[in-house]
Structure 1
Amino acid sequence: MADEHETFESADAGASATYPMQCSALRKNGHVVIKNRPCKIIDMSTSKTGKHGHAKVHLVATDIFTGKKLEELCPSTHNMDVPNVQRKEYQLLDVTDDDFLSLMDDNGSTKDDVKVPDGEVGERILKMFRDEEKDCNVTILTAMGEQTCMEVKEAPK
């Protein structure tokens, strides 16, 4: 028995992609996981307890990456997953020919794996960086293994 050794193939900081929270504790403008997608809650309402017990919470949320609207009905005493969402600001160094952003954080570390987003934010990045040749800062949102650029602004001089 003493010669058994446990081996661990990988180790990380222990940060989970999600954490549980009771449905009744969720709030508007907070985050929640619906259908395995990280979402921002835009509306919620609670029904009264019925004949069989549980009050139900009706959540209306938008996917933080696609903007798609999702809904969920959950008993208020049940737990739902909440995504760990991180926002981080980077300085935009370059936009590659295949539309990837070359970014640098405050520590001087570079990041080259974020694509120019579709839609208005992507258009503003390309206009400010390529056409107007301004120094830009971008905000990258990361949740559940996905990331996207959420906003761009002119860097302070």
Structure 2
Amino acid sequence: MNPNSDLDAEFSSTDSGASSTFPTQCSSLRKNGHVMLKGRPCKIVDMSTSKTGKHGHAKVHMVGIDIFTGKKYEDICPSTHNMEVPNIRRKEYQLLGVQDGYLSLMDDTGTIKDDLKVPEGDLGKEIEKKFDAGDQLMVSVLIALEEECAISAKIMPM
């Protein structure tokens, strides 16, 4: 019997190993970058650094907008401390259909995905209108922390 067989079984069902966040020193974060604020992935829209106080740490004040909900979050962190930065990916899909408030999408490998809601607001209306008009659309999807949302759509060149 192989003494490592128990270990092999333990790791057989892991994912790609990519972490959903990674630590970055607060002082190296920049406006228009991304950061986790109050447990949510946010795009930094404003940040300012205070001078060092009598206890020696400059503080960074950050304002971010949740990339999925648009909600505003704020946080203050010592510049030398680490903050979590979300791993954000963007993926392109071809739109196959719109049904019951969900998009039916296909990626470049031919895999079908139909669990993504039609985005609220103008983007959702634009996608449905162009699809109903017979246009072939490519939909950009933002993926972070096991959440996904459509962020743009463009007509595919024929």
TM-score range (shorter-chain normalised) is over 0.9
Q: Does 1:63 align with 2:66?
A: yes
Runs (5+) with no aligned partner, structure 2: none
How many Å separate the matches in 1 of 2:83 and 2:113?
A: 32
How many Å separate the matches in 2 of 1:156 and 1:72?
A: 43
Q: 1:103 aligns with which of 102, 105, 122?
A: 105
How many Å separate the matches in 1 of 2:95 and 2:46?
A: 34
How many Å separate the matches in 2 of 1:59 and 1:66?
A: 18
- Partner-residue secondary structure (3-state), 2:129: helix
* 1:89-119: CA deviation from partner (whole Å, max 9, x where unpaired): 11101111x1111111122222111110111
Cα 1:3–1:106, aligned 2, differ >3 Å: closer, same or farther?
Answer: closer
Q: How far off its partner does 1:19 sit?
A: 0.5
Q: Which amino acid aligns with 2:21?
A: T
> Which of structure 1's runs of 4+ aligned residues deviate more than 4 A?
2-7
Runs (5+) with no aligned partner, structure 1: none
Partner of 2:154: 153
* 1:28-63: CA deviation from partner (whole Å, max 9, x where unpaired): 111100111000001111111111110000101000
* 1:71-101: CA deviation from partner (whole Å, max 9, x where unpaired): 01000000000000000111101111x1111
Percent identity of paired positions between Structure 1 and Structure 2 = 59
Partner of 1:141: 142
CA-atom RMSD in angstroms: 1.6
Q: How many aligned positions are there?
A: 154
- Normalised by the length of structure 2, the TM-score is 0.92
